[in-house]
Amino acid sequence: MSLPFLPYALPDIGEEEIAEVVDALRSGWITTGPKTARFERDFAEFLGGPGLHAVAVNSATAGLHLALEALGIGPGDEVITTTHTFTATAEVVRYLGADVKLVDIDPATMNIDPAAVEAAVTPRTRALIPVHYAGLAADMPALLAIARRHGLKVVEDAAHALPTTSGGQFVGTLGSDATVFSFYANKTITTGEGGMLVTRDEVLARRAKVMRLHGMNRDAFDRFTAKVPSWYYEVVAPGFKYNMTDVAAAMGIHQLRRAHVFQQKRAAIAARYHEAFAGLPLITAPRPGPGELHAWHLYALRLGSRVDLHRDAFIERLFELGIGCSVHYIPLHLQPYWRERYALQPAQFPHSQQAYERQVSLPIYTRMTDADVERVIAAVRQALGA
């Protein structure tokens, strides 16, 4: 009898999350309110850095947009980021009328290459967005040093990186201006849709809170729960509709409590993959340095140069064997909008291009059983003809 198809990713939702969501529904407060405020406090405490402000939003895209807006990025400015990312990292720059400068990756880590960043800085460059690819921290000491030398703002795209460390500190507590996390359905913790902007800059946090809800200087929770008539508010800027709901935050409260357990389960799967694929003509996923935490949002395997099989055919074989997988990412320099706007060519990004052509993301999620992991390993071996 054939086994059921093993999906690429599934969320891990427990009874605690369900009960908290039900409590939110029964409370009568389902938009931004007490549970969102609690999730923000819990998140800042989880990271543990002094003076952190956490601002809950409805997506990491929203958080990146708010952070750049609060930093004053606008027309005439340039922002550097990696080509090897999802389009959201770059599109938020265009929302503000600024230009994107894409650079290549370090092939050893798949993260943005600091040397390429240094070479890309121009008099127009105002900010840098490093992406912690797959949950492995980018080289933040080098990137922050470049930013200091050139007077650049730094907004970390940490959509993959909870919990991840750099130099023994959690991503989110480093020396950047802001860090943005994602809680999309397949991320290391989920609220279905959602994100969190984290910063030590009180002015930036205050601006983000105003702009996440139409530029109003008081949100509904403040106005509708006051003990005295408190209906008055002022619109102080043309804001956005980026607030997180209490229904989503209710999930996040309990997902966050399980974040370390989730990381340990993902790391155990990654370790099993490393061991199983060591003797095959494959490049296993980059690992963290000693003592560092890797969130293992992705396990991105690369076909080695001795593999004659095309990446697309490899994926088709895995699907035929009942294994879901994906590719992270189709680099931005290959996407029509970015390619045409900036006249980009693959030769400008050789490491990202080569990775893309040989890369496959395997299932790595906490609901996988040992038998599921062994199925993936067996399928990879079979697809390679090993």
Instruction: Return d(Cα 69, Cα 302) in angstroms, integer.
Output: 37
The model's pTM is 0.96
Which of 267, 270, 305 has its CA nearest to residue 285?
270
Look at residue 232 in the predicted model and tell me its pLDDT.
Answer: 85
For residue 222, pLDDT beyond 80: no
Catalytic site residue 187?
A: yes
Contact by Cβ (8 Å): 158, 294: no
Q: In the beta sheet, which residues pair with residue 186?
A: none
For residue 1, pLDDT beyond 60: no
Instruction: Return d(Cα 285, Cα 226) in angstroms, integer.
Output: 52
Catalytic hit among 153, 187, 209, 265:
187
Look at residue 243 in the predicted model and tell me its pLDDT.
Answer: 97
Average the pLDDT over 283-302 and give the result.
Answer: 98
Q: Please, what sign has the CA dihedral across residues 33, 154, 137, 96? A: positive
Summarised one tens digit per residue, pLDDT across range 11-22 is 999 999 999 999
**Torsion (CA) 215, 220, 223, 225 in degrees, nearest 10:** -160
Average the pLDDT over 196-225 and give the result.
Answer: 87
H or E segment to which residue 32 belongs: none
Look at residue 49 in the predicted model and tell me its pLDDT.
Answer: 72
For residue 67, pLDDT beyond 90: yes
3-class secondary structure, 44: helix
The arrangement of secondary structure in 259-384, i.e. its CATH architecture, is Alpha-Beta Complex (3.90)
Look at residue 386 in the predicted model and tell me its pLDDT.
Answer: 67
DSSP-assigned letters across all residues of 304-345: -TT--S-HHHHHHHHHHTTB--B-S---GGGSHHHHHHHT--
Instruction: Return d(Cα 36, Cα 253) in angstroms, integer.
Output: 9
Sorted by where each begins, the domain ranges of the chain are 15-104+111-257, 259-384
3-class secondary structure, 169: strand
Specify the fold of 15-104+111-257: Aspartate Aminotransferase; domain 2 (3.40.640)
